Chains A and B, each alone.
Chain A
């Protein structure tokens, strides 16, 4: 009888051990793909990332030199006629409005990070990313206060910018995934921006109440990158407006 029991216990332990080992290897294989272990995979990725980074920098430089060329053509043409000069000034303005110009100026930088406390059971791992409504509210509040330009983790906020959580611990902004800490940079009247963010009951107050780490600093030299993506209208067509 006793032997039966111990045998049974043995079988149970073996089954559990088997399951655990299977799950372990399955998870590792899913994350690693063909590589043998995490250290190797991370080395491979590091090499790939380095080459991607270089490629990106190269392309950015190329784009910049092309931009300079286009601007040269514009300024040359501007010298020839006043009308062209006016046109290119207008063009610059609308390029700023649509997000295709990098900007600089005085403003504030807001850094928001998750609380230090342990994650509760049933909760996803990042508080901010699960409550990204706060970010929508924050950006709306900044705009009401008169922000002239906003960037979230280096992504320019344009009229097309979405902030969505498509699962996991990151948000998609302009189709690029970002994760905590969230850094929002904004150009505008420093005092107004700073003071409005301190409002009791405001977004940052609520985030602080939820034990998030919030930091607001004034910076006289905020730089906001431009939007680096082509947008073509597929569905919308401009129509001649009588009031234009």
Chain B
């Protein structure tokens, strides 16, 4: 009897202590008189990271502009001004895809499945589709590719890749399998982006058993875009607007 009473009191005491502790924990939050879910805190952290990277990008841009202004200030002769403009033009042309480039990188050849017999019984699974090409290219861009071409068609900002029956349309031109995708950039990173475990390229090769082959080369040649673009709808926004 006595023993039992002692235990009860002990439990009561422990409960009181825990109760006070929990109460303290909650009353602290209560002091701020608002409830903030952890998910909103972590989304704010993300926004913060975004701001940080945007700010450092902007700072780099400002540095570049200042240098450009310096260059303009130093030029007096019209010939020098022409030279400045020409240099700029070359730079933007290369960025836009209108300069032929060469450099180290990789070349990927993707073809339809080589095996005679369809594994799943569905021929669709044996073929390479526009979706596969889009995914591989997206992975290459994420790996820092500086220029990409498919069967000699340079990818520019508005290149669409769409299935057109037996062909795939790239820059409104029909190309056929096997597709050869060339990319200039850090060769090892590019290679990893299509061959590392669980990447899209790896799955195409090892799960769907398509004919995927990647080679690393020190001299990848990527021709310039030949598409002539006329803007009908867009207008550049004037500064200060």
Contact = CB atoms under 8 A, between A and B. Distances in A.
Partners in one complex: yes
Contact of B53 (A27, A160, A175): A175
Interface of A: 27-28, 31-32, 36-43, 45-46, 48-49, 52-53, 55-56, 59-60, 62-64, 66-71, 73-74, 77, 80-81, 83-84, 87-88, 90-92, 94-107, 133, 136-137, 140-145, 147-150, 157-164, 170, 172, 175-177, 179, 187-189, 223-224, 228-231, 233-241, 244
Q: For the side of the interface on B, what is the size category?
A: 35 or more
Interface-central residue, B43, B105, B237, by most chain A CB under 10 Å:
B237
Interface string B123-143: 000000011001100110110
A236 B103 contact: yes
A75 B138 CA distance: 38
Interface of B: 28-29, 32, 34-38, 40-55, 57-62, 64-66, 68-69, 72, 78, 81-82, 85-86, 88-90, 92-105, 130-131, 134-135, 138-139, 141-142, 145-148, 155-162, 169, 184-186, 221-224, 229, 231-237, 239-240
B236 A39 contact: no
Contact of B157 (A63, A137, A157): A157
Nearest to B26: A37
A106 B233 contact: yes
B101 A237 contact: yes
A66 B82 contact: no
Contacts of A175: 53
B160 A143 contact: yes
A38 B90 contact: no
A60 B134 CA distance: 33
